[in-house]
Chain A
């Protein structure tokens, strides 16, 4: 079976004035369905550029990108939007929730664009189920301003999953969170990967966070310089149980 993600000599050049900045210089990467890959590398090494292309937010300047065996390097805007909606979920460092909008409605957002014309009741039901899965069943009506950073990121995860995608792309999802909250987020990602077979590509520059993945890809100057299984994979669930209980439950 074809890998879920396959890139062949992927290149991305940015043009700034007359200068061409190569951000990706030939990336060959494969991620099997159900995998959990961490991508690490110094700042400016091209991690986010890669994620944007894998997430069909951006198009490569050269090379090929096959998603589920289909070449998607040159799809038009709307085809890419539809594919993003159906097969890819995003989690960003800065959460990117709609302000003054309830958690429930934030999670429902992708359902407005999935072309199924689901009823409002149906959308509510699906969004609520996902908020419950990330432990926010009691916060559905809270707006982002009424939620902690960790809770906001969990809303973002629920939003990423509401259309039932196969692939979750997370760019520094714990970048704005403290260590305990980071472990909680990792627990959710590991659980989704393990229980639901969700493929996760986690971008981070923290090596200890990268160890929650099963495979570690190292980036430098727009190239993959190392690609190895994680030798002692961390288990967020076990770590959480070992930690003293938080003062305030989510």
Chain B
């Protein structure tokens, strides 16, 4: 059985090798189609993995409330602007009135020059309370977390991100050391574990975390807050929380809807959405390239196989004369068509992997090649061969032996 299959394969490969250029050109459509399938799936899985990672690194079940609205660009993202619409009272109200809130922290942000000994570094400052690390799913590497007391008393203590710790205190233990932020001395009480790149490629470890009270009063001189970071009790309560928070803030701010809201509420899933939509658009594009190429490739295979059947009519007649049955001829030509498309498929897989690597390298889009993607591409290629090879093979198998033998 295996020997028989091998000899059928050998005949097919020999026939294809006889017209190498023709076979290669015929396979081109399948090559491009399969490469697109691979790139499409790689992009999809890459985006999904990146989103999962982003959700993971932002914190699970997280809802952000930012000052400023969606409709006023520049004000919404990160709350770095001077929009003063979000207050501590808002935060307290949310904590007290929305039942699905598990943790909550006010957040204020700024950038500042930090100095330790002879080292000097410009970094971002996050002011928050002791829940910040829990919400963001961010373990300490060393030392301890901010305490409620630190927040209450506006102590000048801080936690360092991994990058800041390594830059300011190379080869030293930062815990217990003192650094200066705008000439104010802060005592380092903990170091955060490394988190890596964020959604837009920024270094999340380039940060100093301190009590928001300290940052508000001693560094920025403000009373409002930039953001409220919330984690919901369960993952299926995230949407509910966002809705409740929105209602509550609309009441408090006397706004009526998205048009005049002076705040924005977003879940981490929503933030990831933008990115997944980009990937989906690209995937859709590749999908259409893939289906058109596979269709054209399949028609090309059908065409060449029909030519081949005509060219080899006498050979078919002879094979029949010496005992080939209908299914022998059918399987011979079907094997040839499938070999052609599968060879094209293999080349397409190689090309697709290269294209995916290029997408990541040149455009920075995350891609991920999975065994499943390769299997799907392979199955597609084989299916194209079977589907478009069947008609020519059937035509060959149904030839009349005498007509075929006499064919000029």
Q: Does B301 contact A (CB under 8 A)?
A: no
* Known contacts A117-B1, A119-B3, A120-B3; is-contact A84 B322 (Cβ 8 Å): yes
B321 lies within 8 A of A90 (CB): yes
Which of the segments A74-82, A173-181, A197-205 contacts the partner chain?
Answer: A74-82
How far apart are A134's CB and chain B's nearest CB, in angstroms? 17
Provide the residues of chain A in CB contact with B325, threshold 8 Å.
Answer: 77-78, 81-82, 113
The chain B residue with its CB closest to the CB of A110 is: B322
Provide the residues of chain A in CB contact with B347, threshold 8 Å.
Answer: none
Q: Considering residues B318, B320, B328, which has the most beta carbons from chain A within 10 angstroms of its beta carbon? A: B318
Name the one of B1, B321, B405 contacting A84, with C-beta atoms under 8 angstroms.
B321
Task: Give the distance in Å from the alpha carbon of A209 to the alpha carbon of B202 in the complex.
Answer: 94
Name the one of B314, B317, B318, B323 contacting A81, with C-beta atoms under 8 angstroms.
B323
Q: Pick the 6 closest A-B CB pairs, nearest first.
A: A85-B323, A113-B323, A110-B322, A78-B325, A81-B325, A57-B401
The chain A residue with its CB closest to the CB of B7 is: A112
A96 lies within 8 A of B314 (CB): yes
Q: A78-B327, A109-B319, A120-B7 are in contact. List 19 more A-B contacts (CB 8 A).
A: A57-B320, A57-B321, A58-B401, A77-B325, A77-B326, A78-B325, A81-B326, A85-B322, A86-B323, A96-B314, A96-B321, A96-B405, A109-B318, A109-B322, A110-B323, A113-B322, A113-B324, A113-B325, A113-B328
A81 lies within 8 A of B320 (CB): yes
Task: Give the distance in Å from the alpha carbon of A79 to the alpha carbon of B321 in the complex.
Answer: 12
Task: Give the distance in Å from the alpha carbon of A159 to the alpha carbon of B317 in the complex.
Answer: 15
Q: How large is the interface on B (under 10, 10 to 19, 20 to 34, 35 or more residues)?
A: 20 to 34
Provide the residues of chain B in CB contact with A57, threshold 8 Å.
Answer: 320-321, 401-402, 405
Chain B, range 316-363, C-beta contacts under 8 Å to A: 317-328
Q: Which residues of A contact B (CB under 8 A)?
A: 52, 55, 57-58, 77-78, 81-82, 84-86, 90, 92, 96, 98, 100, 109-110, 112-114, 117, 119-120, 159, 163
Q: Does B96 contact A (CB under 8 A)?
A: no
Q: Does B315 contact A (CB under 8 A)?
A: yes
Q: Does B4 contact A (CB under 8 A)?
A: yes
How far apart are B141's CB and chain A's nearest CB, in angstroms? 66
How far apart are A99's CB and chain B's nearest CB, in angstroms? 8
| Selected A-B contacts with CB under 8 Å, 27 pairs | A57-B320, A57-B321, A57-B401, A58-B401, A58-B402, A77-B325, A77-B326, A78-B325, A78-B326, A82-B325, A84-B321, A85-B322, A85-B323, A90-B322, A96-B314, A96-B317, A96-B318, A96-B321, A98-B318, A109-B322, A113-B322, A113-B324, A117-B1, A117-B3, A119-B3, A120-B3, A159-B322
Provide the residues of chain B in CB contact with A82, threshold 8 Å.
Answer: 323, 325
Provide the residues of chain A in CB contact with B314, threshold 8 Å.
Answer: 96
Provide the residues of chain A in CB contact with B327, threshold 8 Å.
Answer: 78
A52 lies within 8 A of B18 (CB): no
The chain B residue with its CB closest to the CB of A101 is: B14
Provide the residues of chain B in CB contact with A117, threshold 8 Å.
Answer: 1, 3-4
Provide the residues of chain A in CB contact with B18, threshold 8 Å.
Answer: 100
Name the one of A77, A113, A114 contacting B319, with C-beta atoms under 8 angstroms.
A113
Provide the residues of chain A in CB contact with B401, threshold 8 Å.
Answer: 57-58
How far apart are A16's CB and chain B's nearest CB, in angstroms? 13
Task: Give the distance in Å from the alpha carbon of A249 to the alpha carbon of B320 in the complex.
Answer: 34
B323 lies within 8 A of A84 (CB): yes
Task: Give the distance in Å from the alpha carbon of A86 to the alpha carbon of B319 in the complex.
Answer: 14
Q: Considering residues B1, B7, B317, which has the most beta carbons from chain A within 10 angstroms of its beta carbon? A: B7
Task: Give the distance in Å from the alpha carbon of A90 to the alpha carbon of B322 in the complex.
Answer: 8
Name the one of B4, B7, B315 contacting A98, with C-beta atoms under 8 angstroms.
B315
The chain A residue with its CB closest to the CB of B6 is: A120
